[in-house]
Structure 1
Amino acid sequence: MFTGIVSGAGTVLDVTHNQEQSLAVLRLHAPGHASDLDLGGSIAINGVCLSATSNDGETLSLDVMGETLQRTTIGELRAGDRVNLERCTPAGARLDGHVVQGHVDTVGTVLARTDHGQWTKFRVGLPAAYAPFVAEKGSIALDGISLTVTAVSAARDAEHWVEVGIIPITLRETTMGQRQVGDRINIETDVLAKYVARLRGFEVQD
């Protein structure tokens, strides 16, 4: 489990795709995050929970399966890209963000970025199928960052979106500071909303 409190940044070294096996290997420089990460241990990369397959203390390799490549932006990463990093939450630690599984639901697109001096508002579009899982003042994880939803589209709208406000430290320390209109971004909706929907018989229709 994660909390969506990004603890640092990593740099992509390369992504190697194996089309026959529907698999990719992500290799990245992760200073301060790799030294005590055991093989098979979990780390969130832009909100995607992945397991370390090799580790020399600063450089990690992680296998990415086809389902993850299909649902997230991991397969779009290129050498030199900056990524958000978060290690899994130890038992007894403070839950400063919200419950984040690292199980990305879908990919959204930045529709608007409005700078307000000390903070920035982002509007992110998301597929209609996932709009019911988002509520104003609820929680959402964008590229692994725990954020509070400040506004949502109306249920009857043709285009579905969420808005979030980003404070300076988050702009500075995460990838959100680099995000521009048109950028694709990983979205994980609130797990509680998904379980409630499941119990009520609601099925996601992609």
Structure 2
Amino acid sequence: MFTGIIEDLGEIKNIEREGSNIHYTLTCSFVNELKIDQSLAHNGVCLTVVNLDAENYTVTAIDETLNKTSLSDWGIGDKVNLERCMSANGRFDGHIVQGHVDTTGKCISIIEKDGSWVFTFQYTTENMTVEKGSITVNGASLTVVDSKDDQFSVHIIPYTYEHTQFHALKVGSTVNLEFDILGKYIAKMMRRN
């Protein structure tokens, strides 16, 4: 379980394919605090630490994960949003994030607004967003500003822009989307009636 509050940008140091799996080796500011078998969200995708040394750690993505996320687009030197699992004794600053990506989306617009940015994303899925509801984009917990059937917008403040992967996104970039879990349950119940 995660909150969508990004802790750090990790850098991909190595990529190794083994069968249909891909092993990603990364570094970040809290490598010394990680342990084997720990869950860590990478651009919103929950992956398990499988190897660790003083400077780097490794996670493995299986075929199912690679097919549903943007991980197969990653390259050596790329930066990814990182978040460790939620601590049970702290504040809950974001929203409930599972680290289970629902689909990918495309950035279709970036508008600078005199110190902040409006990002618009398009997606194809049965899930939906609602105005002022929560959405996770590459692991970052955000508030939906403009919701349409197949797209939504979010406003990004300078801190988020600088300290997450948002500063590297361009029109056409693929992002991982996790829709609000409460909204997904409500939509499922409504379809039953």
The question of a shared fold, defined as TM-score above 0.5 by the shorter chain, is answered with yes
Distance 2:17 2:147 in 1: 36
The corresponding residue for 2:80 is 83
Structure 2: tracts of 5 or more residues without a match: none
Structure 1: tracts of 5 or more residues without a match: none
The corresponding residue for 2:130 is 135
The corresponding residue for 1:3 is 3
Q: How does 1:170-181 map to 2 (within 5 A)?
A: 170-181=160-171
The corresponding residue for 1:31 is 29
Q: CA deviation at 1:35?
A: 1.3
Normalising to structure 1: TM-score of the pair? 0.89
Q: CA deviation at 1:57?
A: 3.2
Do the aligned partners of 2:23 and 2:59 also contact (CA within 8 Å) in 1? yes
Q: CA deviation at 1:161?
A: 0.6
The corresponding residue for 2:16 is 16
1:107-128 alpha-carbon deviations (Å, 9 max, x no partner): 0000000001110000000114
Whether 2:74 is the aligned partner of 1:51: answer no
Distance 2:96 2:55 in 1: 27
Decide which of 94, 99, 105 is 1:102's aligned counterpart.
99
Whether 2:140 is the aligned partner of 1:150: answer no
Instruction: State the one-letter code of the partner of 1:81.
Output: D
Whether 2:183 is the aligned partner of 1:193: answer yes
Query: How well do the aligned residues superpose, as a CA RMSD in angstroms?
Result: 1.3
Instruction: State the one-letter code of the partner of 1:139.
Output: S
Q: How many residues align?
A: 192
Normalising to structure 2: TM-score of the pair? 0.95
